[in-house]
Structure 1
């Protein structure tokens, strides 16, 4: 074992530290490190968790990537998807693709004696990913679509149900307008109620049979308004988007889930800035505290430094000794910080103790994303950066004269 590491361990675990100033200094150092780890873990886990949760909610409702006809533009009344150049089979065979579902949408007005609500009726087919949608259900079930005849069951949002005072098994009349401005009335039964916590979705969307949309839009039985493509991992959107664009034909266009609601995308992009800012602030606080600990320890052990120099130890060896000593002091702080930080995050993850207003934050509880690599990176990063930050102040040791140090009291 090299001399600096050996001697630093002897000092760190010496019983003398329990009865002098070192005990207080060591406690302050460990406390600052623990608090830095706790705040950093909570910031990163909740920040990344919120980004991931919001992206997944957007994507799980309407597809990670949606393909529509260029004629649709921004209209909610979808135009017929062009089959020329569209290779649905190859899209489904892409490694990252989990499922593909067909749909068509049309706008309408739901009304009863209590009130009315403008809605987007999203007609889905027998390939509807009901398992993915099930997480949003709060009551009832998902309409079973066979595309044979017309299924009058619909799933409406909790917001629409509240506005129209609807409950399961209630009937509701919806008015649609055709291309030639004729009004078509449809009577639906509420079989399911969902909640995504995304206001732009919950305020508008109704899920039902695609055959109703085909009838209203005068579409043929095999025609559709678009396809929703779901990936196994939401983070694959950007990677696979160029490949999807090659397989949809030039008369159709692809749209990412994160691009459908730009105001939400802009909002969650702020998380990256906030996370970086908080991490930097906490790192600065930890480094300042650790440097203060090092300087005070050097001053307190001036006699020992003088003695080591008299015995032939070089300035480099003594500096390494005190840097190792300070880093050893940090280790319990890292350990306790991780235990407390991860403990708090696990409580939030499994019990959802802290709640949020979904109208402002798009989620009802603070989401947590526990990535082991990031957790390790935070601890290792603080330890490594602190080690480098201690090099410059450790040069104070070279200014200490052995003769004066031995006389120092």
Structure 2
């Protein structure tokens, strides 16, 4: 057995404070990472539900009147559906309406999406915010006015109430059947307002989404037939820039937290290792007198410190993952959706990212621990052994 390993097994590092500090640092790092990923995932779902990751439609998309429908049977549909990263392409119809319930009225965006043929005619799904504002629930009638060349009225029936992620008083989306909206606009079964393209999770990052948006726009232009509509692609980043700016700010904060927690853990371990070195100064002198090199003695104390770091890392990771599991299952930590877009703290555990953060933090901490081991070279065995 290697001498440094043998000696390290017999040294006792009573650094409970240092281990707790390590555990807290890794706990904060993992939680920050998981919550940031959770916000990104939930907001992306909300954006995709409202208008898709990429919207493909006419440059003069009209959500008020009934002009300029596009054909669902575009020549490029086959190429688009088979494009790498595209999860699905959905034809949709947008139409602004005014909902009246008793004496209360509110503006909404009614979105027609494909639904099964046995879906309730004139049935709609409304956001919880609208249900609260107009005191509506499942089964209630919802009178909706549409303004165009002439005012049209539809008496919808609330099919369900869904928890909208991006809903504010100015941004309420009601989901209706595509067929109902085609009849409202006087369009045929192969006409819609635009296409919504949903991307795979691998393309949720802003840079990847922007690149895929440009690729989809180019594909629609290159493979468009003579009879096809002239469509332009718009990414969710372009439609909701404030949301993605907010996410970028969160990511920057997470990076700062990761760096700070790693440095805090590293300096706590440095102080703990210095205490251990001073407590064992006579042992260091004895080992030198027996012929061990400074490098070998440094390995002894680095092994002891490494074990403590790994224990703290395991404890911090365990508590963080337990919290994430409980939060994902119960949503017991709540938020104000007006400030944070969601009503609970979202978490998304990305194990590869967590493992990478653990490895990077461990490597930085161990590099920092080389600093106090320089003290070993200044220990004079003649003095320490004589003192002992």
Structure 2 length-normalised TM: 0.87
Counterpart selection for 1:144 from 112, 115, 119: 119
Tell me the residue number matched to 1:87.
76
Alpha carbons of structure 1 residues 381 and 230: separation in structure 2 relative to 1, 3 Å: same
Alpha carbons of structure 1 residues 213 and 332: separation in structure 2 relative to 1, 3 Å: closer
Residues in 1 aligned to 2:244 and 2:116: alpha-carbon distance in whole angstroms:
28
Counterpart selection for 2:192 from 210, 217, 224: 224
Residues in 1 aligned to 2:335 and 2:378: alpha-carbon distance in whole angstroms:
55
Residues in 1 aligned to 2:254 and 2:246: alpha-carbon distance in whole angstroms:
14
Give the CA deviation at 1:114. 2.1
Where in structure 2 are the equivalents of 1:324-363 lying within 5 Å? 324-363=303-342
Given the alignment of the two structures, is residue 174 of structure 1 paired with residue 144 of structure 2, yes or no? yes
Given the alignment of the two structures, is residue 103 of structure 1 paired with residue 71 of structure 2, yes or no? no
Give the CA deviation at 1:395. 0.9
Which SS does the other structure have where 1:188 is aligned?
strand
Tell me the residue number matched to 1:135.
none
Tell me the residue number matched to 1:67.
56
Given the alignment of the two structures, is residue 197 of structure 1 paired with residue 186 of structure 2, yes or no? no
Give the CA deviation at 1:337. 1.9
Q: How many residues align?
A: 376
Alpha carbons of structure 1 residues 201 and 269: separation in structure 2 relative to 1, 3 Å: farther
Given the alignment of the two structures, is residue 240 of structure 1 paired with residue 212 of structure 2, yes or no? yes
Contact persistence 2:73–2:190 (CA under 8 A): no
CA deviation profile, 1:81-113 (whole Å, cap 9, x unmatched): 378975111111224333222111121212243
Give the CA deviation at 1:201. 8.6
Contact persistence 2:127–2:167 (CA under 8 A): no
Given the alignment of the two structures, is residue 207 of structure 1 paired with residue 175 of structure 2, yes or no? yes
Residues in 2 aligned to 1:375 and 1:211: alpha-carbon distance in whole angstroms:
46
Which SS does the other structure have where 1:249 is aligned?
helix
Where in structure 2 are the equivalents of 1:235-384 lying within 5 Å? 235=203, 238=209, 240-249=212-221, 251-384=230-363
Residues in 2 aligned to 1:274 and 1:172: alpha-carbon distance in whole angstroms:
43
Tell me the residue number matched to 1:133.
none
Given the alignment of the two structures, is residue 165 of structure 1 paired with residue 130 of structure 2, yes or no? no
Alpha carbons of structure 1 residues 125 and 300: separation in structure 2 relative to 1, 3 Å: closer
Give the CA deviation at 1:286. 0.7
Residues in 2 aligned to 1:329 and 1:317: alpha-carbon distance in whole angstroms:
19
Give the CA deviation at 1:334. 2.0
Contact persistence 2:182–2:188 (CA under 8 A): yes
Give the CA deviation at 1:41. 1.2
Which SS does the other structure have where 1:392 is aligned?
helix
Task: Give the CA RMSD over aligned residues.
Answer: 2.6
Tell me the residue number matched to 1:48.
37
Alpha carbons of structure 1 residues 192 and 328: separation in structure 2 relative to 1, 3 Å: closer
Give ranges in structure 1 of 5+ residues lacking alignment. Answer: 12-16, 129-142, 146-150
Which SS does the other structure have where 1:169 is aligned?
coil
Residues in 2 aligned to 1:76 and 1:10: alpha-carbon distance in whole angstroms:
78
Tell me the residue number matched to 2:108.
119
Give the CA deviation at 1:173. 2.4
Given the alignment of the two structures, is residue 9 of structure 1 paired with residue 9 of structure 2, yes or no? yes
Task: Between 95-104 and 110-119, report the one with greater CA deviation.
Answer: 95-104
Alpha carbons of structure 1 residues 312 and 233: separation in structure 2 relative to 1, 3 Å: same
CA deviation profile, 1:262-293 (whole Å, cap 9, x unmatched): 22211121111111111111111111111111
